[in-house]
Structure 1
Amino acid sequence: MKLNLQDIPRVKTLSKEDFLKDYFIPEKPVVFEELSADWPATKKWDFDYFREKAGDVVVPLYDGKPAKGRQSSHGPAKKIPMREYIDILEKGPTDLRMFFFNLLQNCPELIDDFKYPDLGVKFFKKLPVLFVGGEGSSVVMHYDMDLANNFHFNFVGEKRVILYPPSETKFLYHVPHSIVSMEIINMDNPDFEKYPALAKAKGFETTLKHGEALYIPSKWWHFIKYETASLSMTLRSLPQKPGRIAEVLKNLIITRNYDNLMRKIKGQDWIDYKNRKAIENTHRSAGIE
């Protein structure tokens, strides 16, 4: 048995009118194959370039181990200069990842290497961020807490991306008081005996290669597997709908702080409780006994 996934539509590029009508307004994903073809970044950005431009910048790295007990769910595994991290990436598989590396704060000169595409959306220009991962590493299935519309540009390597729309949340073992699915689930090879509801979820997939960009609509679930060491950049467009804005505030002010507090108070008991509820809630919603 396999996940029920269909290919994400692909286009070379699109007019802003067609993008808004066919993808942005109906909230459907799409891969742009040539959206960044004329950017300097598409030609220049590789690991050697970042070793030269940002080699001395100390970066936080995260591994694939779930947080336990009272550990912070957002804490890095280590912090090292970027050139040392790139050396690790080039040696072979590693689960170490770097995410949400703010270009404006750390390498402001690199913003001249790209431009914000004219797609009829308002970009949040204070937060162009890099995501880097080693071969074999992965990102747990989640949706973004700020419910941004993401435009994810890949410059180095290849990564597999699985997406699910919000309508499929009931099948995805959503952990209560969080924006993630259960970390123990291997989305590359899920155990359908333990997690049968996943077989009912209808999603999308693609493999992003050099120079390609993926539009991930607001509140869509995404799982990312680094097939090779990879470097990508995300440009974000924040939600404009009042209901979504209210949900963002709830996520940032209430959900995150409550979860952190309970983790500090109850430790591993809180994590175990949430995982049990994720299974119970999902199987109830999916009609599985």
Structure 2
Amino acid sequence: MNLKQIERVKKISKSDFISQYVKNQIPVVIEELTEDWPAYSKWKLSYMKEIAGDTIVPLYDNRPVNHEDGFNEAHTKMKMSDYIDLLESKPTNYRIFLYNLMKEIPTLKDDFLWPDIGLKLVKQMPMLFFGGENSKVFMHYDIDYSNILHFHFHGEKQCMLFAPDQSKYMYKVPHALISREDIDFDDPDYEKWPALKNAEGYITNLKHGEVLYMPEGYWHYMKYLTPGFSMSLRAFPKNIAHLSKAAYNVFIMRHFDILMRKFKGQKWIDYKNEKAIQNTHQNLTKSENLAKSA
């Protein structure tokens, strides 16, 4: 794949952030946005264990989507203290995903500041994500097409992004928000997934306290290089087309997919995975034919 490093700035003004990145829908890493937050010095795994150790948390692993799974349904649960002990003892695939910190651990809201950066952030939806060394978050885009500020803490995390216009190369699964789960985006097999050779994206490694701006509808694949955790703040899409797609995803697509899983079972999952290949390769053939005739 063709990946370039995401642009980085130490700090940035509200006007520059909006004009250079939000309006142009280009990702950027802001390195020093959190340095005046209490979280910058406090948010380590040991702190999370101290204040939330007895909290039961939902955990997800890397198993493929199954027709019996509910939408975003956890694979198991564990006390936060036991989970952090696991993270610090050895690599694990178990992750915490979309954990609402305002609801579950209200004291954490005192540790960060809502950045005045030109985005109208949804105050009810700061979400936490935890992962062990080498755990991966499969390639996907978010159901609501939000503009996202993704803050990382404790360790290092690799982020790979692709703009929505690259979807034609991503082996997108129909009626879903994911690419084929059997693609290894760290080392893709181009004989099996030839369209990926045409995909143009971005990559960066986030370190403690850094924030990644992910524009609306961007595909993202995350890999924890060390145990750590992240927080996402989000703002609803500004693009009307993206807003309508978000509404479709939330109110129609998700429920249709759940219904089809119920009635067709694994055959529905297998059908979608096969269509992901057929659709992508058809688009690839069209693109190649257009290039030849140009």
* Counterpart residue identity of residue 250, structure 1: Y
- Counterpart of 2:11? 13
- Counterpart of 2:35? 37
- Counterpart of 1:218? 216
- Alpha-carbon separation, structure 1, partners of 2:91 and 2:265: 31
- Alpha-carbon separation, structure 1, partners of 2:71 and 2:117: 35
* Counterpart residue identity of residue 16, structure 1: K
- Counterpart of 2:65? 67
After superposing the two structures, state which structure 1 stretch, 102-111 or 172-181, moved more.
Answer: 102-111
- Alpha-carbon separation, structure 2, partners of 1:196 and 1:136: 25
3-state SS of 1:186 partner: coil
- Alpha-carbon separation, structure 2, partners of 1:68 and 1:247: 25
Shift of 1:69: 3.8
Which of 255, 264, 275 aligns to 1:257? It is 255
Shift of 1:70: 2.8
Which of 223, 243, 246 aligns to 1:245? It is 243
Runs of 4+ in 1 over 3 A off after TM superposition: none
Deviations 1:174-215 (A, max 9, x none): 000011101111111111110010010000000001111100
* Counterpart residue identity of residue 211, structure 2: A
Task: Note if 1:124 corresponds to 2:128.
Answer: no
3-state SS of 1:234 partner: strand
Deviations 1:224-252 (A, max 9, x none): 01111111111111123333222111101
- Counterpart of 1:202? 200
- Counterpart of 1:80? 78
Shift of 1:253: 1.1
- Alpha-carbon separation, structure 2, partners of 1:30 and 1:240: 18
* Counterpart residue identity of residue 133, structure 2: E
- Counterpart of 2:275? 277
Deviations 1:93-121 (A, max 9, x none): 00000011111101111111101111111
3-state SS of 1:160 partner: strand
Task: Determine if contact 1:174/1:182 at 8 Å carries over to the other structure.
Answer: yes
- Alpha-carbon separation, structure 1, partners of 2:68 and 2:60: 17
- Alpha-carbon separation, structure 1, partners of 2:27 and 2:269: 32
Task: Note if 1:98 corresponds to 2:103.
Answer: no
Shift of 1:267: 1.2
Task: Determine if contact 1:67/1:73 at 8 Å carries over to the other structure.
Answer: no
- Counterpart of 1:169? 167
Task: Determine if contact 2:217/2:242 at 8 Å carries over to the other structure.
Answer: no
* Counterpart residue identity of residue 38, structure 1: D
Shift of 1:162: 0.4
- The gaps in structure 2 that reach 5 residues or longer are 290-294
3-state SS of 2:110 partner: helix
3-state SS of 1:94 partner: coil
- Alpha-carbon separation, structure 2, partners of 1:205 and 1:133: 19
- Alpha-carbon separation, structure 1, partners of 2:83 and 2:156: 18
* Counterpart residue identity of residue 161, structure 1: C
* Counterpart residue identity of residue 27, structure 1: Q
- Counterpart of 2:226? 228
- Alpha-carbon separation, structure 1, partners of 2:126 and 2:59: 18
TM-score (norm 2): 0.95
- Counterpart of 1:178? 176
Shift of 1:74: 2.3
3-state SS of 1:79 partner: strand
TM-score (norm 1): 0.97
* Counterpart residue identity of residue 188, structure 1: D
- Counterpart of 2:292? none
3-state SS of 2:259 partner: helix
3-state SS of 2:184 partner: coil
- Alpha-carbon separation, structure 2, partners of 1:63 and 1:233: 19
- Aligned pair count reads 287
Shift of 1:218: 0.8
Percent identical: 48
Shift of 1:73: 4.9
- Counterpart of 2:107? 109
3-state SS of 1:117 partner: coil
- Alpha-carbon separation, structure 1, partners of 2:183 and 2:81: 32
